[in-house]
Chains A and B, each alone.
Chain A
Amino acid sequence: MTITDELLTQHGLTEREYQKIVSILKREPNLTELGIFSVMWSEHCSYKSSRVHLRRLPTKGPAVLQGPGENAGIVDIGDGLAVAYKIESHNHPSFIEPFQGAATGVGGILRDIFTMGARPIAAMNSLRFGPLHKQQNKRILEGVVGGIAFYGNCFGVPTVGGEIYFSDSYSQNPLVNAFALGIFEKDKIFYGRAVGVGNPVIYVGAKTGRDGIHGATMASAGFGEDAGAKRPNVQIGDPFMEKLLLEACIEAMHKGLIVGIQDMGAAGLTCSSCEMGARAGTGVELDLDAVPQREAQMSAYEIMLSESQERMLLVAAKDKESEILEVFHKWGLDAVTVGRVTNDGLLRVRQHGKVIAEIPNRALADEAPLYNRALLPPKSTLSSRLDDYTFLDGCEPAVIETFLSESKDWNALLKLAVSSPNLASRQWVWQQYDHMVQSNTIVGPGSDAAVVRVKGTRKALAMTLDGPGYRVARNPREGAKLAVAEACRNIVCSGGRPMAATNCLNFGNPEHPEVMWQFSEVVDGMSEACDFFGTPITGGNVSFYNETFGGDIYPTPVLGMVGLIEDISFVTISSFQDEGDFILLTEPVQRLVGKVDLEDERALQNFIASAIRDGLVKSAHDLNEGGLAVALAECCYSTLRRGAIGAQVEIPSHLEIRKDLFGEFSSRVLLTTRSSAALQKRAADAGLNVFELGRVGGKRLIFHYEGVQAVDIAVDELEAAWRQALPKLLS
């Protein structure tokens, strides 16, 4: 058949890219080959617009065992153990079909982890939606949360944390970024490499259907009026199947039967086979007649491009074929030999005895076009109106006006702030997630970072997701640095040491020079800060084309930071602990908004880390959206171990009361202690400003400002407003 311009457009390929395909093959491709190239060279799979920038990210460090390029990054945590972790987006499917889109996002990231041999022990997610006063956004949120719960709960991984923000910017383009972390012995890592010429290539898991064909291509374009028509491109998830797949894969790995393995995610069978071949420098020959199929008469094109979920491709040692099949059959799974590793470097696909496609693996996996796209600082940036109070973004306009008005009813404004969509309790969301399965959750959703213990050791792992979209939109480079600083601060406040990170870079259309400029700036800011804090980026995901009807979203890099807590006795939470504890605010002398001084940040974090290790800190809470007033309120709410508790404090006067209460300055932490003097001295020695604000106690939250009582409210009342806000907005 002839390849027409229309066919190229449908496949998202340019004329130039097509010419490159012809020159690689030294002939015209057939339709199946065109399909294979189009998914592998899609933005989603090839990173063709981002690779020139991503090279600038720091990826190496003493603890890093695996950086970018594999299914997940891996760091050494000592005791012979390692953790694999990664974050990935599922934005486009989640807009079209929120429940399944989010569910399969979770499924995909979990497969990335156990493909490497690690058992997933924690999941988190970072979500962005349009404001909840618009009906459609409620439906999307409910679907996404339901899908995450459906998949993670059944699979049996605890969803221990995450973040949710609302802004108009995400109204037509929600963000669903799923993170997962797994643990294993560091000498039992498995890679996606088709090694050993003659070794059998085995297909395991669910049957292949027509679902998800061109999912990767869909994720590489924006949406218009026809978004609904793309629903068939969304895959359907089966967490039960994936749970069986996990157990069978881990059993086969521990029995030493597997030499290479990769999950079939984006671009399914195509991507897993050619990437495994390319990494090992081998060829892979597939016989599609052997592939388990859900539907009759599927074409080679459909089988190669299907994104049916819960499938894995593995390469077994030659003499282990029957043992592998036995393990998978024990778990009730399909496992079929569908091909062999060859020495010619080609992906060769046969169907009905004929060769249907023959393409060099390297051409597909490594030789996609690279674009150094135009960069241009945007003319109009976001208004600076909410710079001091970014939490107001996503509020109804009337709420914003009330907050920014001349009102001096601080009780009412505090209540308004804690019940605003971006600050309200997320309990409605996280109680739908099983966050306790596997019995490792020491700190679940709601603190600065989630903490899970490592059984058999005294260690624990802290993890957090941070993606300040508004800040990055205002200043991409500074916003990215803030994200890194905050993520590290969250880990430190939890008693941990930041080790390494994974990033999910959610941006608009890379063909818009303004978007590419934002992207480049974010990479630079993130590189600088990650380098500074010694937290390399070991992999992640880029999601472009987050736009609908031509409007780009806020540039939203989400950083997933993983930290090590050397001893579980260091674990610290954000909530106030006991009556009479002293409340201290520590911050750099230099007060910044929307940017961070990295040296100041390091001084603050070092001070907190050593104070925690020396047992001087009873609680630590990072100040963020809503500033000091909101942070104080959050520390008072009831917890698992105690009822609501009050505090009486003097708010330091620097500027004016509204900013001193709610202003969002960088690099600030609220601590409680029994040893106020000792801690104050240490902070001063570290060059930090420190204020003893008051003490924990009673049932009311009382603020004084310049000698006058500004706030006096029962914590129960404030907490009720905070807890009920989200359910109310959704009802």
Chain B
Amino acid sequence: MKFGVVIFPGSNCEHDCFYVIESVLGKPVEYIWHQDTSVKGFDAVILPGGFAYGDYLRTGALAKFSPVMNAIADFAQKGGLVFGICNGFQILTEAGLLPGALLRNVGLKYVCRFEYLRTETTDTPFTNLLTRGQLLRIPIGHGDGNFFADADALKRIEDNGQVVFRYVDAAGQITRDANPNGSLNNIAGIVNEQRNVLGMMPHPDRSSEEILGSADGKLIFQSMVNALVTQ
């Protein structure tokens, strides 16, 4: 089993993801340079947070042209696990590996704080160790996390059970106050139709150890390991 963490120019959470896989989970992991044209030998690929290409033009808009993205698209097509966190999620939507788009936060400001997420489906390789409705406390840190999809696309996402996490309050209720960025239906994370590509704005890489305030994020990475072991 080998994880890969992609480095784009401007990525800034690659070390955090690497640390969780290597030091918290004790699993093999290597970096993947954005100019690489193959992801051969990897079983799961993580697109970390940051500001790839400085978020110039639009978040993720330039990163999708990095050579490695073709290889990742093939990898995903063949069922490989792809996990985009924050900027990684933005890149995956720009690259068309996930539906929808991430717009500017409704408050027009970057927001960094812990949020409650409700697990909406356990039928994914990223949530197989969670229970439906389980609350996770995981922080966000973004200026463009406002999930949007047109009405048809949103309906498909909801009908297919592709919504993985929603922002909720401490009681698990979907409320406007619990929505930090204006995302439609309080969506915090989604999978593709094949359910092997996950994108989420919150950072499980920042919440996989109690000392950082929460270890809930670790359950997502552990689910990936579980999926790879049992597949």
Which A residues are closer than 8 A to B by beta carbons? Answer: 149, 153-156, 238-241, 243-244, 331-332, 430-439, 441-442, 453, 455, 568, 640-641
Contacts and interface: CB of A to CB of B under 8 A. Distances in A.
Given A154-B55, A331-B9, A437-B12, A442 B113 contact: no
A243 B206 contact: no
A120 B113 CA distance: 21
B54 A436 contact: no
Nearest to A159: B112
Given A239-B54, A438-B16, A453-B211, A432 B9 contact: no
A431 B13 CA distance: 18
Contacts of B50: 156
B203 A436 contact: yes
A430 B141 CA distance: 11
A585 to B, nearest CB: 29
A336 B126 CA distance: 46
Interface string B36-77: 000000000000011101111000000000000000000000
A437 B56 contact: no
B213 interface: yes
B2 interface: no
A437 B51 contact: no
A242 to B, nearest CB: 10
B14 to A, nearest CB: 9
Bin chain B's interface residue count: 20 to 34
A432 B112 CA distance: 6
Contacts of B49: 437
A154 B51 contact: yes
Given A154-B51, A155-B12, A439 B56 contact: no
A243 B139 contact: no
A616 B104 CA distance: 47
Contacts of A240: 9-10, 51, 53-56
Nearest to A643: B170
B205 interface: yes
Contacts of A432: 109-112
Contacts of B111: 431-432
A294 to B, nearest CB: 17
Nearest to B114: A640
A437 B205 CA distance: 9
Contacts of A640: 114, 213-214
A439 B213 contact: no
B9 A332 contact: yes
A436 B212 contact: yes
A149 B51 contact: no
28 contacts: A153-B51, A156-B51, A239-B54, A240-B10, A240-B51, A240-B53, A241-B54, A243-B51, A244-B9, A331-B9, A332-B9, A434-B110, A434-B141, A435-B112, A436-B112, A436-B139, A436-B206, A437-B12, A438-B16, A439-B208, A439-B209, A441-B212, A442-B211, A568-B211, A640-B114, A640-B213, A640-B214, A641-B213
A455 B212 CA distance: 12
Contacts of B155: none
A491 B16 CA distance: 26
8 nearest CB pairs, A to B: A156-B12, A240-B54, A439-B16, A154-B51, A434-B141, A436-B206, A434-B112, A640-B213
A243 B49 CA distance: 14
Nearest to A430: B112
Contacts, number: 84
Given A433-B112, A437-B49, A437-B141, 20 more contacts: A153-B110, A156-B50, A240-B9, A243-B10, A244-B9, A244-B10, A432-B110, A432-B112, A436-B139, A436-B141, A436-B206, A437-B206, A438-B15, A439-B15, A439-B19, A439-B206, A455-B19, A455-B23, A568-B211, A640-B213
A437 B13 contact: yes
B137 to A, nearest CB: 8
A436 B12 CA distance: 11
Contacts of B56: 240
Given A244-B9, A439-B16, A154 B54 contact: yes
Contacts of A455: 19, 23
Contacts of A332: 9
Contacts of B53: 240
Interface string B68-108: 00000000000000000000000000000000000000000
Contacts of B139: 436
A153 B12 CA distance: 9
A153 B10 contact: no
A442 B110 contact: no
A437 B9 CA distance: 16
A437 B110 contact: no
B212 A442 contact: yes
Contacts of A568: 211
Interface in B121-139: 139
Nearest to B53: A240
A448 B123 CA distance: 44
Nearest to B211: A442
A439 B114 contact: no
Contacts of A437: 12-13, 16, 49, 141, 206
A441 B113 CA distance: 12
A244 B56 CA distance: 14
Contacts of A430: 112
B114 A243 contact: no
B85 to A, nearest CB: 12
A156 B7 CA distance: 13
Nearest to A435: B112
Contacts of B54: 154, 238-241
A245 to B, nearest CB: 11
A435 B139 CA distance: 11
B180 to A, nearest CB: 10
Nearest to B113: A431
A610 B48 CA distance: 41
A575 to B, nearest CB: 13
Contact of A431 (B10, B112, B213): B112
A5 to B, nearest CB: 46
Nearest to B203: A436
The residue among A238, A332, A437, A568 with the most chain B CB atoms within 10 A of its own CB is: A437
A587 to B, nearest CB: 32
The residue among B10, B13, B49 with the most chain A CB atoms within 10 A of its own CB is: B10
The residue among A154, A240, A436 with the most chain B CB atoms within 10 A of its own CB is: A436
A242 B49 CA distance: 17
Interface in B200-223: 203, 205-206, 208-209, 211-214
Contacts of A149: 109-110
Contacts of B211: 442, 453, 568
B213 A154 contact: no
A249 to B, nearest CB: 14
B115 to A, nearest CB: 11
Contacts of A154: 10, 12, 51, 54-55
A387 to B, nearest CB: 37
A243 B8 CA distance: 11
A241 B56 CA distance: 11
A640 B211 CA distance: 12
Nearest to B213: A640
Contacts of B109: 149, 432
A155 B56 CA distance: 14
Nearest to A149: B110
Nearest to A241: B54
A235 B209 CA distance: 40
A81 B71 CA distance: 39
A437 B49 CA distance: 9
The residue among B12, B141, B214 with the most chain A CB atoms within 10 A of its own CB is: B12
A332 B9 CA distance: 9
B67 to A, nearest CB: 14
A439 B212 contact: yes
Contacts of A641: 213
Nearest to B17: A439
B13 A156 contact: yes
B112 A439 contact: no
A437 B142 CA distance: 11
